[in-house]
Amino acid sequence: MKKIIAIILLLLITTVGVTAYLNRGYIKDKQAMVENSSILIKDEGGEVGVIDLGLIKDLEPIEFEVNLKSSGKDPEEHTYKGVTLKKLLAFKDQSLESKKQVVIRSIDGYTIALSAEEVSEEDNVYVVYERDGEPLGKKEEGGSGPYQIILRKDPFSQRWAKFVVEVELQ
């Protein structure tokens, strides 16, 4: 009996250790994406490309006004600048045609799933990098960037993702 308990404990400790080790690498990679101000693009788990600020600025970003509803506050109108995720994916030769959804992951673990149809809409899902003419700022700086996903059709901003580091087509 003691032996069984010892084995179970050893297995648990190993599992926790291995998970912690794997997560360490994961978080380090994610942090690197933040430092380089880039977003990793994946297709069914495989890395297929990287989006950076140079590319976003090359794709004729636009400014638009939306309401931001922060928790515990009244909605505020802000101007955001960015390009559609649709345009960025098209530029990176990523087709949404046979895809069901696009999963957006952030440095703090926040994850949202967008349907392929939503992302395919002409004027809805934006990757933004400026708010009211200023860079969004990183999480440590109290910002919401370097990149944020904004759904212009979500009036309560619940599904907006701050600190975005990864976009995966599924």
Q: How far is the CB of 70 from Mo ion (least distance, A)?
A: 8
Q: How far is the CB of 17 from ligand MTE (least distance, A)?
A: 28
Q: Which of 20, 54, 60, 71 binds Mo ion (CB under 5 A)?
A: 71
- How many residues belong to the site for ligand MTE (CB under 6 A)? 12
Q: How far is the CB of 49 from ligand MTE (least distance, A)?
A: 21
Q: How far is the CB of 152 from Mo ion (least distance, A)?
A: 18
Stretch that binds Mo ion, among 66-74, 87-95, 106-114, 162-170 (CB under 5 A): 66-74
DSSP string across the chain: -HHHHHHHHHHHHHHHHHHHHHHHHHHHHHHHHHHTTEEEEEETTEEEEEEEHHHHHHT--EEEEEEE--TTS--EEEEEEEEEHHHHHHHTT---TT-SEEEEEETTS-EEEEEHHHHHSTTSEEEEEEETTEE---TTTT-S-S-EEEETT-TT-TT-BSSEEEEEE-
Please give the residues from 101 up to 130 whose contact with ligand MTE meets the rule CB under 6 A. 106, 108, 110
Interaction site with Mo ion (CB under 5 A): 71
Residues of this chain that bind ligand MTE (CB under 6 A): 69-71, 106, 108, 110, 157-158, 160-163
